[in-house]
């Protein structure tokens, strides 16, 4: 009888121990089952934060593929330069970036195109297109510059997207690259040194935006640029020979 009681107690103890172990195992299994979900949630939160950060940069420097239906410049941020074959397609140098293209055209002339997305100086992702006044040239506004030269003519054109609607802007080719200080772009490029500013001796690209904030212009001359003499375009807040410098775009003009 004592042995029977002992066996019963042992069985009960074993059962109790097994129950405790089973509870612990079940709890552990529950934690293990929940762990992947917790990890997934943490990964998703981390990915969302990363997307928010990169998305902010993409606004200033995301690719402009024209999928919004507007005839936007072909390409995105213009932080790095590359050369193409003049076929009219950008050569990407990084995520969301497109460099200028250029080369000999079929008619025997020279063709170049450069495009950029404006961002303020000191932005997280550098850009060759700088806005000094985001009220007039918003961050993420786009610019495209084209240059064509042959034996008899020289043409410089521009297209801009995303500016203030129904507003007049001035634009000229300048002698130096853009920098944080608007004055760094130097004076207007002049074919012959002159104390006065005029569209015959300089490259003026004044334009007026439409109701969507888009504008374009073209200047034609019988002369071309001196080697290294033209390095940028400046957008002004008024048309004519002067005006406040509100944006700048460094352009690899060819002589």
pLDDT, residue 108, reads: 64
Q: Which residue in 218, 212, 89 sits closest to 158, CA to CA?
A: 218
pLDDT at 204: 98
Region of residue 231 (left: phi > 0; alpha: psi -120 to 50; beta: else) = alpha
**Are 145 and 158 contacting, i.e. CB atoms less than 8 angstroms apart?**
yes
Task: Tell me the DSSP string of 27-69.
Answer: HHHHHHHHHHHHHHHHHHHHHHHHHHHHHHHHHHH--B-STTS
> Residue 255: what pLDDT?
83
pLDDT value of position 132:
98
CA–CA gap between residue 63 and residue 96 (Å, rounded): 5
Q: For residue 180, what pLDDT is reported?
A: 97
pLDDT tens, residue order, the chain (255 aa)? 333 333 333 444 444 444 434 444 444 444 444 444 443 444 333 433 333 333 332 222 222 333 333 333 333 333 323 323 233 333 333 334 345 555 554 556 889 999 999 999 999 988 999 999 999 999 999 999 999 998 889 999 999 999 999 999 999 999 999 999 999 999 999 999 999 999 999 999 999 999 999 999 999 999 999 999 999 999 999 999 989 999 999 999 998
Sequence-ordered alpha helix ranges (H) in the chain = 2-61
For the chain, the farthest-separated pair of C-alpha atoms sits apart, in whole angstroms, at: 125
Tokens of 104: 């000999």
């Amino acid at each position: 009888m004592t042995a029977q009681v002992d066996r019963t107690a042992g069985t009960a103890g074993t059962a109790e121990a097994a129950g405790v172990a089973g509870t612990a195992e079940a709890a552990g299994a529950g934690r293990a089952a929940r762990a992947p979900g917790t990890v997934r949630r943490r990964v998703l939160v981390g990915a969302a934060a990363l997307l928010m950060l990169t998305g902010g940069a993409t606004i200033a420097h995301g690719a402009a593929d024209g999928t919004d239906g507007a005839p936007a410049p072909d390409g995105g941020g213009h932080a790095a330069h590359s050369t193409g074959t003049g076929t009219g397609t950008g050569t990407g140098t990084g995520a969301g970036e497109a460099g200028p293209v250029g080369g000999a055209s079929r008619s025997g002339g020279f063709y170049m195109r450069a495009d950029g997305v404006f961002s303020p100086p000191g932005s997280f992702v550098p850009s060759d297109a700088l806005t000094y006044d985001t009220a007039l040239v918003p961050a993420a506004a786009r610019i495209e510059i084209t240059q064509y030269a042959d034996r008899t003519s020289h043409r410089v054109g521009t297209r801009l997207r995303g500016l203030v609607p129904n507003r007049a802007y001035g634009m000229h080719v300048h002698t130096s690259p853009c920098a944080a200080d608007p004055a760094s772009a130097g004076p207007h490029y002049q074919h012959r040194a002159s104390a006065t500013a005029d569209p015959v001796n300089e490259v003026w690209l004044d334009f007026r935006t439409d109701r969507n904030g888009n504008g374009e212009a073209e200047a034609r001359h019988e002369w071309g640029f001196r080697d290294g003499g033209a390095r940028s375009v400046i957008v002004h807040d008024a048309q004519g020979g002067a005006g406040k410098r509100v944006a700048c775009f460094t352009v690899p003009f060819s002589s």
